[in-house]
Amino acid sequence: MSSGKEHDKATLIISVPFGVSVGLFLGADLGILGGLSFLVGGLWLSPDLDTHSNSLKRWGFLKWMWWPYRKSIKHRSIFSHGPFIGTVLRTTYLMTWLILMLATLQLLGVIELIPIVQKLTNLIKNNPIQIFTVILGFESSAMLHLIKDGDPWLLK
């Protein structure tokens, strides 16, 4: 199992060849998006959000959002350190918070939720390859994390 510093260092180093590889197949713009998504996935959405970690500290004053996640998911369980399921759960969890925050802003009369949801839906519908690239970056950085941890889920 690697330390937080080792995970961060591996994420920073591997994000470059990952972005270059994506760029070779999908073009330079998507290569940059893929490399940045790999960084965000490894540094902010790491499987180690299930414990006190560097990733958790990076959320700064927003790290309270991950308290329910940490309390309900055991460190290194399949729900945080399982291939695919970990990334799906973390991104779904984050999207749920985003929706709750937007709904709260609507209740306070600060925003109109429906037009924002429609714009987000259109953004996703009109940019499927970009969304795919972001998800690929998130999941690939999670896979790097699992390999560095020596997680048993990858050996099954």
d(CA 20, CA 30) in angstroms, rounded, equals: 9
Note whether 34 and 136 are within 8 A (CB): yes
- Quick check: 139 binds Zn ion (CB under 5 A)? no
Beta carbon of residue 40, minimum distance to Zn ion (angstroms, whole number): 17
Beta carbon of residue 81, minimum distance to Zn ion (angstroms, whole number): 6
What residues contact 64, with CB distance under 8 A and at least 6 apart?
none
Q: Which residue has the tokens 């990952």?
A: 18
What residues contact 107, with CB distance under 8 A and at least 6 apart?
none
The residue among 86 and 137 lying less far from Zn ion, judged by its C-beta, is 86
Q: Which stretch binds Zn ion (CB under 5 A): 32-40, 44-52, 59-67, 136-144?
A: 44-52
The residue among 79 and 102 lying less far from Zn ion, judged by its C-beta, is 79
- Quick check: 149 binds Zn ion (CB under 5 A)? yes
d(CA 81, CA 64) in angstroms, rounded, equals: 21
Beta carbon of residue 140, minimum distance to Zn ion (angstroms, whole number): 15
The residue among 81 and 133 lying less far from Zn ion, judged by its C-beta, is 81
Among 8, 35, 37, 48, binds Zn ion (CB under 5 A): 48
Radius of gyration of the chain (CA): 16
Among residues 59, 56, 60, 55, which one has the least CA distance to residue 43?
55
The residue among 48 and 139 lying less far from Zn ion, judged by its C-beta, is 48
| Residues making contact with Zn ion (CB under 5 A) | 47-48, 149
